[in-house]
Amino acid sequence: MNLTNELISINELNKSYYSINNETKTLSNISFKLYKNDFLGIIGPSGCGKSTILNILSGLISDYSGKINKKKDLKIGYMLQEDALFPWLTIYENTILGLKINKKLDTNSKKYVLNLLKKYNLFEFKDKYPYELSGGMKQRVALIRTLALKPDILLLDEPFSALDAQTRLSVSDDIYNIIKNENKTIILVTHNIEEAISMCNRIIILTKRPSTIKNIYNIELDNNIKPTEKRKLNNFNYYYDLIWRQIDK
């Protein structure tokens, strides 16, 4: 990984939330780098501030201290915990929402979205409404809505947490496949250790609040197979054990 591949570097990131009665320090001295085609996982106990990191990177939160260097013209997409599809819009209208708001809806971008819908088996549903789709399909629509803006980096905030256990596995396969196909760089926030190991090539473990980085692990599993297949590899359990012991209970 050379320097030109570095997309984001975060240095000494600190963040506190304030209320009338107290100050809650959430992030403390978080530093890491993100490289092109990284699939970086961030895991830690719930409430530790994992999502805060994504909110800061995407620009939703602007009052923090620390330095964040982003590569010039870096486009960041964000996929939320739930699909957040608008029930009064069709699937197609939902996927072009970001384009419309950014005034980037033209024949090219329309074509691009329709192509994504075709590629990921949603084309025939494009004129249907969200309630007519399964949870997994809705999550794919949400991903396409994010991809429509052609982001370089995708931030995934517990993207499967609203799904049931069965769907969760198949959807993570789907989403993983789409992300690999589209050649994106990812930061995945999750509290699910298996999910992180099966999808990521690097995992940051955060401590309890105020979160610091406890450890960063490189996950060396075959990247050409699906997450559900990775779970069957021998090394999977080794990593699971390694990480599980590190997470604060």
Partner 1 sequence: MTYNNYIKKTKRNKRIILFSQLFILITLIFLWQYLASNNYINSFITSSPKNIIITLINLYKQNNLFIHIFITLKETIIAFLITSIFSIIISVILYSHKLLYKIIEPFLVLLNSLPKVALGPIIIIWLGANQKSIIMISILISIIISIETIYNAFENTDKLKIKLLKTFNASKKDILYYLIIPSNKKTIFSSLKINISMCLIGVITGEFLTSKAGIGYLILYGSQVFNLNLVMSGIFLLMIISFTLYKLVNLIIKNSSK
Residues near partner 1 (CB under 8 A) are: 58-60, 77-78, 80-82, 84, 86, 88, 97-98, 100-102, 149
**In angstroms, what is the minimal distance from the CB of 13 to partner 1?**
19
Q: Tokens 């990247």 label which residue?
A: 223
Nearer to partner 1, 102 or 235 (CB): 102
Nearer to partner 1, 85 or 178 (CB): 85
Give the whole-angstrom CA distance, residue 143 versus residue 202. Answer: 22
Nearer to partner 1, 105 or 233 (CB): 105
**In angstroms, what is the minimal distance from the CB of 96 to partner 1?**
11
**In angstroms, what is the minimal distance from the CB of 194 to partner 1?**
25
Nearer to partner 1, 139 or 207 (CB): 139
Nearer to partner 1, 72 or 245 (CB): 72
**In angstroms, what is the minimal distance from the CB of 228 to partner 1?**
28
**In angstroms, what is the minimal distance from the CB of 43 to partner 1?**
22
